[in-house]
Structure 1
């Protein structure tokens, strides 16, 4: 389930879809209230703030640039970045990810840096990204969400909109490195109403279970085993093969085929299989746990921020930079990011403009309403109240622990970071991974809670 917005042109609904659907709240609407969909549209003329001269004055005072010039600068990544000769989240993220690649249900974290870089070059740069650049960037197939925006962030090929995270979670994470295969899979998941990132994490997990013989094709009603190793991987043939199996799994989840009963969610399904078959099944499923039944697959970045004990996960209410932060400091940074993202959300701004919006929104509020302090105070209060309901659960899968441990080791061994606290945590994870993970997780939690106190 999701919220979906798409521009209408000349009475026709376009394929430039924009989704807010992490967490599957639409399914709950249908299951508990019998509401399958709410459709609305039309034109409403409102007296809005339209004096560009006033806005330009704000930006000139702050940045010595007019609004349009600053916005062009701030949205370079989402439009076209000449540094990488590509654009959009798909283009720039895949161009720059290198050895931080997440593939084959996160099993890439166990590979050497050389292996990950080789996969990135052969399967992504030379094929997956190359297709995107030729078909979308070179043809300038770019749209906006419907607003007159300089970012033109909607990168299209025919009916398919290309964003990094859906095409990562149902791309490399699922052993899919080809645009045709990924388009088929992402489109089908969208058609079924799945959260593309979470279902990608579920599919990649099930594919690994099949590859490791933890589950059989018969149990999950698929025809074949996946090709789930980078050795001799064929970008087109093997991607198509894996995408077809994943597509069958989507059908199986929807129609409850075989053992695929996700009525209570993937987390409870995984726990049930762990009890009945093998703990190895849940230990290769990467997810954030919340309260008794809640779960969500993390955002697709190899950083500990995406596995943090925050009250809301799946959005960017956390810090996802690649640099090392001690866990308690990471918790504080997460809290800071939550407040900033709340501000953008509540002001109705797209976060792709955050490089100036975070600075300017309080000043704009003050200029228009004279309520700068009240606005910021209420943001802090709202974040504190949301966090008072924080029921994040410690990592239930050992793959989560390995994810963080491997991230820390890579920082030291590949990025050559020699921070004393980084070395301390690497040592702790080497000596006793479970104990170190507990301490690391709770240190993040301390930073979060001490930062989101109202008093």
Structure 2
């Protein structure tokens, strides 16, 4: 595949051909070449690599994700983040992947089209304004190349938690396309791009054409699907993506529409404090969430009008559901909603808007807000130490769903802004180091409060630890696999179901899911399309004449070991309780988790089983 290596310090571009099947394999090759396991994640010599899979530009749908691979300032090892739809515009950039190295002298925008690269100084701004400014100042480039911008927001310059933000523009009208906004966010890729390389924006475009001619051969694709799955391609696609488009059995669709009625009382509330509630109490809260948070969305998006869109590539799944002009996904709205003690949908919108404009990872920000809310509520912190003027309502048992939701949403909005502005010493500490390292420092700084309250800062958070300082918070599900000792978390590279089993069986199912997800990312395929893609992925590579990938997950695990960022045993009580409470909920008789040794045994047996599978 063709890769452009861009040295920002020298404004130098090198076009090279490397032996790689997709962006993930290309990134592993580049990181091995420069031995980046030795480097700080924000070193200018630690590249951020992005690219697309081999199936772009043809007759397959959902194959235009842009995949970012980087050494994460959060986990301290390789992380993978994906941005939907952007490869539909990036396919004309003249390479299948790009590696950004070196550090520009001043904040810089990079323009890539048809193998040509340009550089321009640009002033950082909020993400949405920055995209508009790029369009207004380089309108000709956008129109000639049907381009799309990938930008960082203010959070990438002041926190570990910066995302890469992209909103597609109708280049003729200069207007944002409804629903066509997405974020490569988990693990801090925006922070790596901004602080490591002084890059504010990357604008990609160029002539649209398939990388491989066979990807545009509809007859050959249909023949492949008939042989393997007994149906033509579109029939299989429609069957496998029904959840994300519209499921007539439950009368809704998309992650937000489906998850609340499907998971109900198993969805985490109040920073996972809901795991301590009896089932009947959780059901009462789930009913409130459905009535106040889910129903307003359901009525307007499915009953009154079908405001469904795609991510920027032509795709019949139209998974982007828009409520009053705002794209609504489960993860981002749960982060600004029930997870932080806000059950009112309309109150979540300004919080999500602010998170998006500032360029933050919404999932991580939900964890930060919930953790700091809980620390203030329990008395470990004073409100003014995080720039607040009130104490959050963070006890589910005494929660007023209307009054307290409004209070918490107002406080969350202030906290998000204060966090990005580093407004207090505590917030500056968290913004620089993240939850895990900040919790340790706060325990030292406020040791008297920890003794008085009988709880540590770390015990109010849920995260999986990596090495000495790295960590990752889970997606918003009550699922042990999301904190299990896997080498990449924060995505769905694990068994993410609300289930429990022996550590050996859990490791096997998690490893199988991780391998499958890595292959889908390497192919640049949207995971909403995984149902039809995974069974035929090997044959699709053969069809277009590309080489299938090698052992991707093994390479990532080996890199983590070299980086000193292997998974580490659970440090937080609430993380351990997430596992044991679900085991109890599901009636596990073998695992009762009566003391720390039980947790450690389950964790270590899982890790040993996983490592054996990786080496096998």
What TM-score comes out, normalization by structure 2 length? 0.68
Report the counterpart of residue 8 of structure 1 in structure 2: 169
- Map Cα deviations across residues 47-95 of structure 1 (whole Å, 9 max, x no partner): 6422211111111112221111111110011011122211101111111
The reply to whether residue 392 of structure 1 matches residue 567 of structure 2 is yes
- TM-superposed CA distance for 1:405, in Å, is 0.7
Q: Give the structure with the larger helix fraction.
A: 1
In structure 2, C-alpha distance between the alignment counterparts of 1:384 and 1:208, rounded to whole Å: 34
SS at match of 2:311: coil
- TM-superposed CA distance for 1:323, in Å, is 2.9
- TM-superposed CA distance for 1:112, in Å, is 0.2
| Cα-Cα RMSD | 2.0
Report the counterpart of residue 300 of structure 1 in structure 2: 476
Unmatched tracts of structure 2, length 5 or more: 1-161
In structure 1, C-alpha distance between the alignment counterparts of 2:416 and 2:550, rounded to whole Å: 45
- CA 1:380–1:315 in 2, change beyond 3 Å: closer, same or farther? closer
Report the counterpart of residue 438 of structure 1 in structure 2: 600
- Map Cα deviations across residues 413-436 of structure 1 (whole Å, 9 max, x no partner): xxxxxxxxx31112xx12x1x111
Report the counterpart of residue 28 of structure 1 in structure 2: 192
- TM-superposed CA distance for 1:266, in Å, is 2.3
In structure 1, C-alpha distance between the alignment counterparts of 2:553 and 2:402, rounded to whole Å: 49
1:367 alignment partner, one of 520, 543, 549? 543
- TM-superposed CA distance for 1:344, in Å, is 0.7
Asked if 2 retains the 8 angstrom alpha-carbon contact of 1:101 and 1:116, the reply is no
Asked if 2 retains the 8 angstrom alpha-carbon contact of 1:265 and 1:293, the reply is no
The reply to whether residue 235 of structure 1 matches residue 401 of structure 2 is yes
Report the counterpart of residue 357 of structure 1 in structure 2: 533
In structure 2, C-alpha distance between the alignment counterparts of 1:370 and 1:185, rounded to whole Å: 44
In structure 1, C-alpha distance between the alignment counterparts of 2:383 and 2:557, rounded to whole Å: 47
2:410 alignment partner, one of 222, 240, 244? 244
- TM-superposed CA distance for 1:159, in Å, is 3.2
Q: Give the structure with the larger strand fraction.
A: 2
Report the counterpart of residue 435 of structure 2 in structure 1: 266
SS at match of 1:424: coil
Unmatched tracts of structure 1, length 5 or more: 413-421
- TM-superposed CA distance for 1:134, in Å, is 1.1
2:518 alignment partner, one of 339, 342, 363? 342
SS at match of 2:612: helix
1:328 alignment partner, one of 504, 515, 532? 504
- Between 321-330 and 36-45, report the one with greater CA deviation: 36-45
- 1:180-219 aligned at under 5 Å gives the runs 180-219=346-385
- TM-superposed CA distance for 1:294, in Å, is 1.6
- Map Cα deviations across residues 346-380 of structure 1 (whole Å, 9 max, x no partner): 11211111112111111122233285xxx264446
SS at match of 1:4: strand
- Between 223-232 and 277-286, report the one with greater CA deviation: 223-232
1:290 alignment partner, one of 447, 466, 482? 466
In structure 2, C-alpha distance between the alignment counterparts of 1:255 and 1:351, rounded to whole Å: 34
Report the counterpart of residue 129 of structure 1 in structure 2: 294
- Map Cα deviations across residues 112-149 of structure 1 (whole Å, 9 max, x no partner): 0000011001x211121101101222221110112222
- 1:75-114 aligned at under 5 Å gives the runs 75-114=241-280
- CA 1:31–1:387 in 2, change beyond 3 Å: closer, same or farther? closer
- Map Cα deviations across residues 242-262 of structure 1 (whole Å, 9 max, x no partner): 011111111221222222112
- TM-superposed CA distance for 1:443, in Å, is 1.5
In structure 2, C-alpha distance between the alignment counterparts of 1:227 and 1:32, rounded to whole Å: 38
Asked if 1 retains the 8 angstrom alpha-carbon contact of 2:518 and 2:553, the reply is no
- CA 1:284–1:378 in 2, change beyond 3 Å: closer, same or farther? closer
Asked if 1 retains the 8 angstrom alpha-carbon contact of 2:498 and 2:582, the reply is no
- CA 1:14–1:357 in 2, change beyond 3 Å: closer, same or farther? same
Asked if 2 retains the 8 angstrom alpha-carbon contact of 1:289 and 1:392, the reply is yes
Report the counterpart of residue 183 of structure 2 in structure 1: 19
Asked if 2 retains the 8 angstrom alpha-carbon contact of 1:310 and 1:387, the reply is no
In structure 2, C-alpha distance between the alignment counterparts of 1:21 and 1:435, rounded to whole Å: 35
SS at match of 1:90: helix
- Map Cα deviations across residues 276-298 of structure 1 (whole Å, 9 max, x no partner): 22252211111122222222211
In structure 1, C-alpha distance between the alignment counterparts of 2:267 and 2:438, rounded to whole Å: 28
In structure 2, C-alpha distance between the alignment counterparts of 1:184 and 1:21, rounded to whole Å: 19
In structure 2, C-alpha distance between the alignment counterparts of 1:340 and 1:253, rounded to whole Å: 36
Asked if 2 retains the 8 angstrom alpha-carbon contact of 1:299 and 1:306, the reply is yes
In structure 1, C-alpha distance between the alignment counterparts of 2:561 and 2:442, rounded to whole Å: 32
- TM-superposed CA distance for 1:27, in Å, is 1.3
- 1:408-447 aligned at under 5 Å gives the runs 408-412=583-587, 422-426=588-592, 429-430=593-594, 432=595, 434-447=596-609
The reply to whether residue 280 of structure 1 matches residue 456 of structure 2 is yes
In structure 2, C-alpha distance between the alignment counterparts of 1:408 and 1:220, rounded to whole Å: 35
- CA 1:295–1:244 in 2, change beyond 3 Å: closer, same or farther? same
Asked if 2 retains the 8 angstrom alpha-carbon contact of 1:24 and 1:195, the reply is yes
- CA 1:440–1:378 in 2, change beyond 3 Å: closer, same or farther? closer
- Between 29-38 and 376-385, report the one with greater CA deviation: 376-385
Report the counterpart of residue 143 of structure 2 in structure 1: none
In structure 2, C-alpha distance between the alignment counterparts of 1:386 and 1:179, rounded to whole Å: 41
Asked if 2 retains the 8 angstrom alpha-carbon contact of 1:59 and 1:67, the reply is yes
1:404 alignment partner, one of 540, 558, 579? 579
- CA 1:391–1:384 in 2, change beyond 3 Å: closer, same or farther? closer
- TM-superposed CA distance for 1:33, in Å, is 2.5
In structure 2, C-alpha distance between the alignment counterparts of 1:365 and 1:40, rounded to whole Å: 25
- Map Cα deviations across residues 184-209 of structure 1 (whole Å, 9 max, x no partner): 11111111111100110110111111
- Between 13-22 and 294-303, report the one with greater CA deviation: 13-22
- TM-superposed CA distance for 1:39, in Å, is 3.0
